Structure 1
């Protein structure tokens, strides 16, 4: 099976979108990762949810996990305050990852290898019509696992 057959429509946000809107989309849809595209719909970043949560945790708690135990939830800065007025591109630069991208004819095994190698739960599928490259969907780790289990 090829990437195009495994790909599902996947919600994405652009680099220019409001960060708060993107965070709400991520939470409401319970996505494994945030797929960010540029204004031309080319993949810009795939940010796993674990990395999106970094904005809610003070740096000192990231560096010293024992200190995180001393914080109550109400001591953590409100995520909404941190994201207010930011674009997606401003929110994710230090947390973003280079997107894992495949063409529409990429095999399932190659996609799985890419996910395993890059530690990403999501791979963007792109197609090129000769003039431009655009995102057509995404393959999630869950969808790929479902496919592999059905093979046995």
Structure 2
């Protein structure tokens, strides 16, 4: 599939801090999370990890955000120390955003929109071929046919 791009993956039991560092260093919209056999289990969106920067009481009421110390962001490493990627995922597993290698741009966009995920896994049978990011999808949708 010409839409699919390579993307690093992490296992459920990988070090959470290492995974978040990879997201940041490569400026990824998300990362595919696999089991030990390499079968995709979930997508960890970078936007979900960003929520770790903000205490829950500020997410509920953003008015105190302007008076909080910027060192809050420095504590992300402390929050992730010793944790696994599994602990960053929602307790209730959501549907894995996945498409088939022969799906169309519209089919991919429909999955992204329905699941509100910036990244989908491209599968062929049970094998991960790559990913499609929202920015890649937009690039393809805007290119002349």
Structure 2, unpaired ranges of 5+:
none
SS at 2:10's partner residue?
strand
- Residues 1:37 and 2:30 are matched in the alignment: no
Matched residue, 2:20: 23
Counterpart-to-counterpart distance in 1, 2:73 and 2:119: 29
Question: In the alignment, is the contact (CA less than 8 A) between 1:47 and 1:96 conserved in 2?
Answer: no
Counterpart contact for 2:34–2:42, Cα < 8 Å? yes
Distance 1:107 1:75 in 2: 42
- Residue 69 of structure 2: aligned partner: 72
- How many Å separate the matches in 2 of 1:55 and 1:28? 17
1:46 is matched with which residue: 19, 39, 43?
43
Q: Is the 8 A contact 1:35 1:45 kept in 2?
A: yes
- Aligned residues of 2:112 and 2:118 also touching (Cα < 8 A): yes
Number of residue pairs matched?
145
CA RMSD, aligned part only? 1.9
CA distance in structure 2 between the partners assigned to 1:81 and 1:32 by the alignment: 22
CA distance in 2, matches of 1:96, 1:55: 19
Tell me the TM-score normalised to structure 2 length. Answer: 0.89
1:84 aligns with 2:81: yes
Partner SS state of residue 96, structure 2: coil
- From 53, 58, 61, give the equivalent of 1:56: 53
Residue 88 of structure 1 deviates from its aligned partner by: 0.6
For 1:142, the equivalent position in structure 2 comes to 135
Return structure 1 stretches of 4+ with deviation > 6 angstroms. Answer: none
Q: 1:74 to 1:95 in 2, by over 3 A?
A: farther
Equivalent-residue separation in structure 2 for 1:112 and 1:143 (angstroms): 11
Structure 1 residue runs without a partner (length 5+):
none
- 1:5 is paired with a residue whose SS is coil
